[in-house]
Amino acid sequence: MKSTATYFSCLPAILLAILPGKSYCQTEIQADSRPNIIFILADDHDIQAISSYGSTLINTPGIDRLAQEGVRFTNCFNVISLCAPSRAALITGKYNRLNGVLRIGDRLDEKQETFPKLLQQSGYQTALIGKWHLETEPQGFDYYSVLPGQGKYFNCPMKVKGQPWSNGNLGGIPAEGYITDVITNQAIDWLKKTNAGKPFLLMIHHKAPHGPHEYPEKYGKLFADADLPFPETFNDDYSEKNPGLKDQNAGYSRLDHIYPNHFTEKVPEGMDRETYKKWAYQSFFKGYLRLVASLDENIGRLLRYLDESGLAKNTLVVYTSDNGFFLGEHGLFNKMWMYEESMRLPLIIRFPGIAKPGSINKEMVSILDFAPTFADFSNARIPSTLQGKSIRLLIESKKPVNWRESIYYHYFNQFEVPEHEGIRTKEYKLIRFYNPKGNSFNEMYSLNNDPGEMKNLYLNPKYKSVKKRLENSLNEMKTTFETEPEAKY
């Protein structure tokens, strides 16, 4: 029996011309050849915990496979290092002053344009599975299954499209099992149900390795037999940094003042401050790395399914994180502060035939770039109001004309971290802190000479001209990126 496509190719041209709703040529109908896109977003996964980035703490063969078969970016940055605001910047392609999500608890205006909406409008099948954390119901998705709020690691409720949505932090039906496995299972199940004739966007948002560090029993022995090495800047005394670090407890940032509720095990009694700091480092980050191991195993499982299903050859796979994370650098955990470990993101992209296997790209990339990049690859409409840039040429090992030389960052005060903004260039970083009482304290670092950001050069007269140039650029960027751009049609 002839296929439908073959049947139509055999019809006389005059009949083809009058068939309603479609136009057909006298060849078999071809499926949409635009690439599928799988976007994998981890939560708080720092590059220091990925072996393809040189980690000495853990081996990550699943993620490393993507790096071996694609391009690894070494200078990808977020624009605010905090979960919900970072995710809002990612999905809208706009800075937070414009997308409206400045702090955790702010609601994303669902009427805003986002890249899932753009791809859905251009004919893509769209799905989101995992952590959402933006309060309002996800828009632009044919299907979603998301965690309420932060979710939990075992038997987590999932809020599925079609169920009533009244509160982003409540509701859902429990999904039995460990959440990293559950998210991967649901992602693979959705892939099995997709229409083979239409491209898809699948966003897989993992909770791992965000705390609390609850892991399956099989990972419990990892790192149990030896202590983790301490980073070089572990004993930073903060004499060169904002007084908010040196003079306050900063229990959401400093390991020597970390609140006990950050641990899944009982905190020993009777420790002095220095002993507590070292114990906290070992306990906290061994748990963190066990979650990374589980996450990496599931990345490998997903990649094997893409191979077995034949989807790998026309699927662009992206691996990144919403934030970086301090792994003990400067005696810190968590993120928020505009230092390298917090601001820098992993970014690995595999696209067979397009991304050169094993390649490394050092250009400055922003979390705002995902929206225009995915629209570019999908031939979707790219709104002029997006503040990121398509990195398609970078993925293709080409350099765009007039590519950016700096990144603008703005953190809005929350979790005992003062509001601050800054500029990060290839050579320098300037951080300007807000102080409502006056006497603002600023920081400037030479990233080439001081990659650990230990020597504050802000008041060094030798760098007066550099400081002035950076301050002028920072003021210009603030005006540019925090003023609503004019829409062009």
Number of domains into which the chain is organized:
2
Whether 12 and 59 map to the same domain: the answer is no
Would you say residue 265 lies in a domain?
A: no
At 23 the pLDDT is 34
Whether 70 and 126 map to the same domain: the answer is yes
Whether 8 and 139 map to the same domain: the answer is no
Whether 2 and 78 map to the same domain: the answer is no
Averages of pLDDT over each 10 residues, the chain, 489 residues: 36 36 36 93 98 97 98 98 98 97 95 97 98 96 97 97 93 97 98 96 98 96 95 96 87 96 92 96 98 98 98 98 98 98 98 98 98 97 95 96 97 95 98 75 96 97 98 97 73
At 69 the pLDDT is 98
Distance of alpha carbon 302 from alpha carbon 66, whole angstroms: 11
Whether 125 and 17 map to the same domain: the answer is no
Would you say residue 419 lies in a domain?
A: no
Would you say residue 266 lies in a domain?
A: no
At 434 the pLDDT is 87
Last residue of a domain, one of 390, 406, 422: 406
Would you say residue 165 lies in a domain?
A: yes
Whether 152 and 174 map to the same domain: the answer is yes
Whether 26 and 50 map to the same domain: the answer is no
Would you say residue 114 lies in a domain?
A: yes
At 487 the pLDDT is 63
Last residue of a domain, one of 350, 377, 406: 406
Distance of alpha carbon 241 from alpha carbon 248, whole angstroms: 12
- Nearest Cα to Cα of residue 458 among 449, 448, 445: 445
Contact, 474 vs 459, CB < 8 A? no
Would you say residue 395 lies in a domain?
A: yes
- Nearest Cα to Cα of residue 301 among 203, 218, 184: 184
Whether 11 and 76 map to the same domain: the answer is no
- Nearest Cα to Cα of residue 94 among 121, 116, 119, 113: 113
At 247 the pLDDT is 86
Last residue of a domain, one of 391, 406, 421: 406
Sign of CA dihedral 412, 416, 421, 427: negative
Contact, 136 vs 107, CB < 8 A? yes
At 133 the pLDDT is 95
Give the CB-side neighbour count of residue 464, counting CA atoms within 13 A: 2
Sign of CA dihedral 151, 157, 161, 163: negative
Could you write out the three-class secondary structure of 231-288? CCCCCCCCCCCCHHHHCCCCCCCEHHHCCHHHCCCCCCCCCCHHHHHHHHHHHHHHHH
Whether 394 and 351 map to the same domain: the answer is yes
Whether 80 and 20 map to the same domain: the answer is no
Whether 15 and 97 map to the same domain: the answer is no
Would you say residue 326 lies in a domain?
A: yes
Contact, 113 vs 370, CB < 8 A? no
Whether 22 and 131 map to the same domain: the answer is no
- Residues of the domain holding 6: 1-30
Distance of alpha carbon 469 from alpha carbon 472, whole angstroms: 5
Would you say residue 472 lies in a domain?
A: no
CATH of residue 183's domain is 3.40.720.10
